[in-house]
């Protein structure tokens, strides 16, 4: 949490005091929350363009009035990177949108991304005064964040954070997902010579190969990466740390520190009969074909099945992304099969809502038992088990239990398995001495993100085993601080 004194000093700036007086709090709290303009469902299921169109300047201004510029801005406690939320919103209110964008970048290297994909309803917005005390809808912090970041980008006046004079110390990063990018940005700010190595042929990690265009356009990610390049960060694609370059190579090349942000790339399967039939695939495979390899483009060499009856197994963001992608690729019947009820779904509320509007069918409290294929081994139907909810389990969610004998067959021609990912063992297995948990995540010091190997720090999904963009970025920032302190001590 930024210090109370600092927040107070900022809040006491004359412009903010003046702004607070322009409207009574009662007037502010009576204002309705803005609605995000969207592409209509019947249009958007035929294209891959963004569903959320972004607030208009008038809408953003109206929403900014709602924020009360609280003495104790509890919203900040809900943000893993502790954006000074009232400061950026009040800058929007006074019309200084570029200043608002700068405020975001004080602590968040990728605001245009977070404004789009953060589960705000569980993070910043859940802690907003409106929710906590007034039982009203939160200030639309995420929408405003996106507005300010988009405004800056479209204005062409992108502020590049100032960097300290180069100190010539070489630092390597494995993985260009949000953790690696956030780490690289902070280290570059401190004057380090940072190189990011990425295994794939494109940068961005899940932002690129996982989250679809209709939620996060690739150009947004590209612009953010351009910003890092301007700060002096170097990027090397097609390079697998631990394979293409070894631990020894890194040392030989003069790298003094390594940050591992390699993500949780290994897809889980359920290990039920028929799961290796043609047409059954992991969510990672499906989304990678479409997003990274552009398989929907007829000119692309990468093939994709365009199922007519598609079942997606799971209830997370990944599952929603896949099922909505299937709809856009022409599925007449697109189904979510989830073993608990809708309440327990880990996906963002907005995603579930969008999926429903797009005609996705929800088989909640259902679980697949087996798949059967035709004579060519192509999946044809699935057997589902009906479930009910029992007692809460260790995670606090009610445990799904099968209703004995209550099953049904459903016809499908494509099944996308989206039941979680595990950490990719590639790095842990090629770095001697790196301590990992039984789940395969890398063990780190929670404060500094330092691993059991002194010069290696880690963060994001490889440490958390699957989390969010903003938590991964928070880790990257913590690790930058930790590594900087360690380097200063040892060099």
Ligand X SMILES: Cc1cc2nc3c(=O)[nH]c(=O)nc-3n(C[C@H](O)[C@H](O)[C@H](O)COP(=O)(O)OP(=O)(O)OC[C@H]3O[C@@H](n4cnc5c(N)ncnc54)[C@H](O)[C@@H]3O)c2cc1C
Which residues in this chain contact ligand SF4 in the complex, by CB under 6 A?
A: 67-70, 73-75, 79, 81, 83, 85-86, 108, 114-115, 118, 120, 123-124, 128-130, 139, 141-142, 145, 470
**Position of tokens 């954070």?**
161
Distance separating alpha carbons of residues 72 and 66, to the nearest angstrom: 16
Chain CA centroid to CA 383, Å: 32
- Residue 464 in contact with residue 422, Cβ under 8 Å? no
Angle between helices 349-357 and 317-328 (to 10 degrees): 20
* Helix and strand numbers, DSSP H then E, in the chain: 20, 15
Least distance CB 188 / ligand X (angstroms): 17
Smaller CB separation from ligand X, 247 or 424 = 424
Query: Closest distance between ligand SF4 and the C-beta of residue 327, in Å?
Result: 26
**Minimum distance between the CB of residue 49 and another protein, rounded to whole angstroms?**
20
Whole-number Å distance between alpha carbons of 115 and 136: 21
Q: Which stretch binds ligand X (CB under 6 A): 65-73, 262-270, 330-338, 376-384?
A: 262-270
Per-residue binder mask for ligand X (CB under 6 A), 114-153, x = binder: ---xxx----------------------------------
Taking the least distance from each CB to ligand X, the nearer of 128 and 287 is: 287
Residues binding another protein: what is the number (CB under 8 A)?
41
Contact with another protein (CB under 8 A) among 265, 368, 428, 474: 265
Are 205 and 287 within 8 A, CB to CB? no
How many CB atoms are closer than 10 A to CB 439? 9
Of 300, 302, 306, 295, give the one whose Cα is nearest residue 331. 306
488 binding partner (options another protein, ligand X, ligand SF4, none; Cβ < 5 to 8 Å by kind): none
CB contact at 8 A, 179 and 472 = yes
User: Does residue 460 touch ligand X according to CB under 6 A?
Assistant: yes
Structure tokens at 74: 């509890």
Task: Out of 191, 269, 356, 410, point to the residue binding another protein (CB under 8 A).
Answer: 269
**391 φ, ψ (degrees, to nearest 5):** -70, 155
CA distances from 17 to 23, 94, 226 (A): 11, 12, 37
Please identify which residue in 149, 174, 334, 365 interacts with ligand X, judged by CB under 6 A: 174
- HSE-CB at 202 with a 13 A cutoff on CA atoms is 16
| Binding partner selected for residue 271 from ligand SF4, another protein, ligand X, none, CB under the kind-specific 5 to 8 Å limit | another protein
Tell the smallest beta-carbon distance from residue 395 to ligand SF4 (Å): 22
Pattern 350-389, another protein, x by CB under 8 A: --------------------------xx------------
For residue 35, give the nearest of 190, 164, 140, 159 by alpha carbon: 140
Report the chain's C-alpha Rg in angstroms.
23
Q: Does 318 bind ligand X (CB under 6 A)?
A: yes
Which of the listed partners (another protein, ligand SF4, ligand X, none) does 468 bind, with a CB threshold of 5 to 8 Å by partner kind? ligand X
Task: Measure the N-to-C terminal CA separation of the chain; round to a whole number of Å.
Answer: 30
Shortest spacing between CB 221 and ligand SF4, in angstroms = 15
Q: Please give the Cα distance from 331 to 323 (Å, whole number).
A: 9
What does the binding site for another protein look like in residue numbers (CB under 8 A)?
A: 199-201, 237-240, 243-246, 249, 265-267, 269, 271, 275-276, 278-279, 281-282, 284-285, 288-289, 293-294, 297, 299-303, 305, 376-377, 424-426
């Amino acid at each position: 949490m930024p210090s109370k004194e600092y927040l107070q000093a900022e809040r006491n700036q004359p412009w903010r005091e003046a702004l607070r007086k322009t409207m009574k709090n009662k007037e502010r709290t009576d204002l309705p929350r803005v609605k995000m303009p969207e592409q209509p469902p019947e249009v958007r299921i035929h294209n891959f363009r963004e569903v959320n169109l972004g607030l208009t300047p008038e809408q953003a201004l109206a929403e900014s009035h709602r924020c009360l510029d609280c003495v104790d801005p509890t919203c900040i406690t809900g943000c893993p990177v502790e954006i000074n939320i009232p400061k950026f919103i009040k800058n929007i209110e006074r019309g200084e949108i570029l200043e608002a964008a700068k405020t975001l970048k004080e602590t968040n290297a990728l605001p245009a991304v977070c404004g789009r994909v953060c589960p705000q309803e569980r993070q910043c917005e859940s802690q907003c005064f409106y929710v906590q005390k007034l039982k009203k809808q939160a200030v639309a912090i995420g929408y405003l964040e996106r507005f300010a970041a988009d405004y800056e980008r479209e204005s062409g006046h992108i502020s590049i954070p100032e960097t300290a004079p180069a100190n010539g110390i070489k630092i390597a990063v494995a993985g260009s997902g949000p953790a690696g990018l956030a780490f690289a940005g902070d280290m570059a700010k401190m004057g380090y010579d940072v190189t990011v190595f990425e295994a794939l042929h494109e940068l961005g990690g899940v932002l690129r190969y996982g989250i679809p265009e209709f939620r996060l356009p690739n150009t947004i990610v590209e612009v953010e990466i351009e910003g890092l390049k301007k700060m002096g960060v170097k990027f090397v694609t097609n390079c697998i740390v631990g394979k293409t370059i070894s631990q020894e190579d890194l040392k030989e090349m003069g790298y003094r520190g390594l940050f591992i942000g390699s993500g949780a790339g290994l897809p889980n399967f359920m290990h039920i009969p028929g799961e290796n039939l043609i047409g059954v695939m992991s969510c990672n495979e499906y989304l990678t074909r479409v997003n990274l390899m552009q398989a929907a483009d007829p000119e692309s060499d990468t093939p994709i099945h365009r199922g007519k009856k598609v079942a997606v197994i799971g209830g997370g963001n990944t599952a929603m992304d896949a099922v909505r992608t299937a709809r856009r690729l022409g599925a007449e019947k697109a189904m979510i099969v989830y073993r608990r009820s809708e309440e327990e779904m880990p996906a963002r509320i907005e995603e579930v809502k969008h999926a429903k509007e797009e005609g996705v069918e929800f088989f909640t409290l259902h679980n697949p038992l087996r798949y059967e294929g035709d004579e060519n081994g192509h999946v044809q139907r699935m057997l589902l088990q009906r479930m009910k909810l029992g007692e809460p389990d260790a995670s606090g969610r009610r445990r799904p239990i099968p209703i004995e004998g209550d099953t049904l067959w459903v016809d499908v021609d494509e099944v996308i398995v989206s039941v979680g990912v595990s950490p990719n063992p590639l790095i842990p297995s090629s770095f001697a001495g790196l301590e990992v948990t039984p789940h395969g995540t890398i063990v780190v010091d929670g404060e500094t993100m330092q691993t059991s190997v002194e010069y290696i720090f880690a963060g994001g999904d490889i440490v958390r085993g699957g989390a969010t963009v903003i938590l991964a970025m928070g880790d990257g920032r913590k690790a930058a601080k930790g590594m900087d302190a360690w380097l200063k001590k040892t060099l």
